[in-house]
Structure 1
């Protein structure tokens, strides 16, 4: 208990999957948590049971003004933001030759531009907090490639590079920036009965990951336990990328 006591965290995509697990884990370890998502009912269902020190705030990560409002509300409720978990993401599958420009741009807007907007929006607040930790949730799709998800792979590789650039720039402010690269985790994006999920049979730990296992890694990066870590990739994939 208490590994992030006194910190204020914003978790995007907090209404489900890894985001919900992360919101609960950070709150259990003492952080005040803003559960940020476009899905209001599900977001409140995560935040409300946590009680004091947690709140749902609606957020479309592709909207710069919404980011400004989200950070302002976090500060008004709890104080300056010291942890940002850029977790919101979407995926669109299909062959390259059939991928529409609109679908490609939508994935990039959420998965890449949303991360940029979040980092930019939170920096002034983290400076007021005296420093902080930004955790950008990428994917093993940002370490290796997969067919039929071109936009997703493009965005997740970009997040990896953006993390390194931001880490170099923000170190002087006491802000650390790292990326997390989950493998196949059982969420709405990867149900256990899909062909994608079946790929775990060939990895060393031959099962889907659990959202809580990724949340534990995010907690480490949010806490002072990772005080010497910045600009790095942290992979939790059951060994998928060792193949």
Structure 2
């Protein structure tokens, strides 16, 4: 016996409602949509909402993305994801591994990929067909960030003014944790004082202490909340625009 038109419409509506849930529970991947930057070089914006500046266009060999829901008020900056599209005719099985370096909204998308990253979603020689779609259905999962040969680093924001105002950007945060708080040791009062999240991954403080600066990073992830102390993280007489090696790696 065939289905009536009314029953067919009900089944279609049920499938539309259940499909995202089915995808969400399949291999820990979540369903979404992705597009790509329409800028001339397709590499994102140097004034991105995470605060990485020009560095954010070249991080991870340029496999970067602006994210919407995953931005999470800036705590999602620097998170890494495996993204793969679901059109098996044109899409590769592994997709691409990206770093979230900006905020961006598309047509119900979670990812605005660099053109380089978007092309990697496709089978070899199929990228042009994928670009023609403009927006594609994808599934994604969070993965650990890995930066071979790079420790976690602190970039002193160009707006910093020694010794009155310190603003830092945290680079190469490995692992799969969000940095949800940064505290700075004040020797004068013998206590840790919180830095302000200005935006994205930019943390700042008015009138920072003199001398080398000790930092404490709060990491939040599947294992809970942990703190990592980094003594002498930033030297005395720090310079605007300088990048300092933490000598630690987050995993």
Same fold (TM over 0.5): no
| Bigger radius of gyration | 2
TM category (shorter chain) comes to under 0.3
Greater strand content? 2
TM-score scaled by length of structure 1: 0.27
Greater helix content? 1
TM-score scaled by length of structure 2: 0.26
